[in-house]
Amino acid sequence: MDLMNDLERINRALDEATKVLGMFTPGRIAAVQKRGGDPVTEADQTIDAMLREMLPRHDEGWLSEETVDDTRRLSASRVWVVDPVDGTREFVDGIPEFCVSIGLVEDGIAIAGGIANPAMGTRVVGSLDSGVWLNGVAASVRSIDAIAGVEVLCSRSEVRRGEWDIFAGQGIECRPMGSVAYKMSLVAAGLADATWTPVPKREWDVAAGTALVMAGGGLVFLPDGSTPAFNRPDTRIPGLAAAPVGIADEVNEMFARQMALIATG
């Protein structure tokens, strides 16, 4: 398949999704609670329906946070893995840390993606074959070979729960931020050093970000050090980290230590 054609499709889809988001005012949006307590808005549902019409071709599968899972995707080689609005809580609260996240998976591998945060004016698009662009300009993961002084984008809710307290005085800077997809896009484009989360996510949260970080020259890994696989029957991801190659070992050690501490309570 022509990956440049895929990226054109992703960019067109992000264009249309951004137009939909422009119809709403962050901080003044009605939301209802889904089962499990997560909010959903009209914007989530409108963008989901639109992208489902725009992106998949007849032989491609679809997996989205806002669509009832169709297990026929499991027999498709290529699958679109989408979060119409990642960071819906931030969107509802008027915090400019939300985005549209579009990932393309082929045979379980995240090969291309696009993440757009119109509130901050950032769009990161790329593929494993083409590299990464930030607002149309070539970008990449930062080149870092020492963990000291690294800026880590961390979950605001995790910080509130004290799950990052173990790193106080450890020489890294924890910068709280919403939307794991948005955080991964910033790492992919060289706008932040690293990010990780010990909290389980879903494939739609991280598929696009995984493709972008790896396309930008970085690494994405699970708590056991392996690379995440996608389009599985169970869409849960047991936490993951995204970092430059030069500090991946140190990040993996800190990530594993945090996971172990949380597991023991």
CB contact set of 219 (below 8 Å; sequence gap of 6+): 213, 227, 242, 243, 244, 245, 248
Task: Write the secondary structure of the chain as one string of H (helix), E (strand) and C (coil).
Answer: CCHHHHHHHHHHHHHHHHHHHCCCCCCCCCEEECCCCCEEEHHHHHHHHHHHHHCCCCCCEEEECCCCCCHHHHHCCEEEEEEEEECHHHHHHCCCCCEEEEEEEECCEEEEEEEEECCCCEEEEEECCCEEEECCEEECCCCCCCCCCCEEEEEHHHHHCCCCHHHCCCCCEEEEECCHHHHHHHHHCCCCCEEEECCCEEHHHHHHHHHHHHHCCEEEECCCCCCCCCCCCCCEECCEEEEEHHHHHHHHHHHHHHHHHHHCC
Tally of domains within the chain: 2
Torsional class of 67: left (φ above 0), alpha (ψ -120 to 50), beta (otherwise)? beta
Q: Model confidence over 94-119: pLDDT tens digits? A: 999 999 999 999 999 999 999 999 99
Q: For residue 194, what are the β-bridge partners?
A: 152
Q: What CATH number should be reported for the domain holding residue 180?
A: 3.40.190.80
Side-chain-facing half-sphere of 87: CA atoms under 13 Å = 30
112 & 171 share domain: no
- Show the domain range for 52: 3-139
Pick from 139, 167, 200: which residue ends a domain? 139
Looking at residue 38, its pLDDT comes to 85
State mean pLDDT over 79-105. 97
Looking at residue 262, its pLDDT comes to 86
Lowest mean pLDDT of 1-5, 38-42, 178-182, 213-217, name the range. 1-5
At 4, the pLDDT band (50, 70, 90 cuts) reads low
Q: Model confidence over 151-167: pLDDT tens digits? A: 999 999 999 999 999 99
At 224, the pLDDT band (50, 70, 90 cuts) reads very high
Lowest mean pLDDT of 10-19, 30-39, 238-247, name the range. 30-39
State mean pLDDT over 241-263. 94
Looking at residue 166, its pLDDT comes to 93
Looking at residue 36, its pLDDT comes to 74
117 & 91 share domain: yes
Looking at residue 37, its pLDDT comes to 76
Rounded to 5 degrees, φ, ψ at 79 are -140, 135
Looking at residue 261, its pLDDT comes to 86
At 58, the pLDDT band (50, 70, 90 cuts) reads confident
Pick from 139, 160, 191: which residue ends a domain? 139
The token duo for 58 is: 């007849």
In a domain, 181, yes or no: yes
| pTM (predicted TM-score) | 0.96
Looking at residue 176, its pLDDT comes to 97
In a domain, 144, yes or no: no
Mean pLDDT, the chain, integer: 95
Q: Is the pLDDT of residue 3 over 70?
A: no
Pick from 104, 139, 174: which residue ends a domain? 139
Q: Is the pLDDT of residue 35 over 80?
A: no
In a domain, 121, yes or no: yes
Q: Model confidence over 129-143: pLDDT tens digits? A: 999 999 999 999 999
Q: Is the pLDDT of residue 205 over 90?
A: yes
200 & 133 share domain: no
